[in-house]
Amino acid sequence: MAQLKPVSLDVFAEARDEAHVVLANLMGRLAPGEHVVRLGVGMDGQERPLSATLPVTVEGDGGSDDLVGVEQKYFENFCFLLACGLAQTQCWGVMYLRSPATEQGGSAYVIRAWDLSWGVLNECEAARAEELIGEREPAVFGDAFGVHSNSDGDEEAIYPPVAYSVL
């Protein structure tokens, strides 16, 4: 069985803060509707990755005043697992977002994915997202967007929307 190197409390606190920023950046880009964010984090030698699911509801007209809602228990579990993956650089995983399709025609859902490796979520192009998610989710795959902290120092101005509305 593989063993992870311990990380300091300071490193984990930074990773937890970054997990909140990641989720704030992700939720800030969601259109109205029912979304689901899934995360799997594993390491070499582990049989199955740990996973977390975060259902997100966005109500409004697509503007900056939209109401974003999540259940506290799902949010906390998701943040904890994401923080673990960001703090422990020996972990790997994938985070993906299933959103309602905005255009009629194809699938009812659009999937965007991020590769977790070396403590960073790297956005995936549509082809890579389809390769990672495959048959698990019947959907159209789209290119992901950046979710990490901005370099302009504004990350303190955003707080995870769960702070404003909890279902």
The model's pLDDT over 128-141, given as tens digits with 9 standing for 90+, comes to 999 988 777 778 89
- Residue 1 counted as domain residue: no
Q: How would residue 115 be classed by pLDDT, with cut points 50, 70 and 90?
A: very high
Q: How would residue 34 be classed by pLDDT, with cut points 50, 70 and 90?
A: very high
Strands 140-141, 109-117: parallel, antiparallel or unpaired by DSSP? parallel
Looking at the DSSP bridge assignments, the partners of residue 58 are 33, 68
Specify the 3-state DSSP secondary structure of 165: coil
Query: CA 118, 121, 124: angle at the middle one, nearest 5?
Result: 120
pLDDT at 3: 67
pLDDT at 18 over 60: yes
**C-alpha 3: how far from chain center:** 25
| Cα–Cα distance for residue pair 144/1, rounded to 1 Å | 33
Distances, alpha carbon 20 to alpha carbons 8, 99, 119, 123, in Å: 19, 20, 14, 17
Q: How would residue 166 be classed by pLDDT, with cut points 50, 70 and 90?
A: very low
Are the CB atoms for 127 and 77 separated by under 8 Å? no
Total Cβ atoms within 10 A of residue 131: 12
pLDDT at 160: 44
- Residue 64 counted as domain residue: yes
* H or E element, residue 97: strand 92-100
- Residue 4 counted as domain residue: no
What is the residue range of 93's domain? 9-163
Q: Residue 70: which of 85, 52, 57, 83 has the closest Cα?
A: 57
- Residue 2 counted as domain residue: no
Are the CB atoms for 101 and 110 separated by under 8 Å? yes
Are the CB atoms for 40 and 49 separated by under 8 Å? yes
pLDDT at 159: 40
pLDDT at 33: 92
Determine the average pLDDT of the residues in 18-37.
93
pLDDT at 105: 54
Amino acid of residue 94: V
- Residue 3 counted as domain residue: no
pLDDT at 45: 77
- Residue 42 counted as domain residue: yes
Amino acid of residue 53: T
Q: How would residue 163 be classed by pLDDT, with cut points 50, 70 and 90?
A: very low
pLDDT at 55 over 80: yes
Domain count, the chain: 1
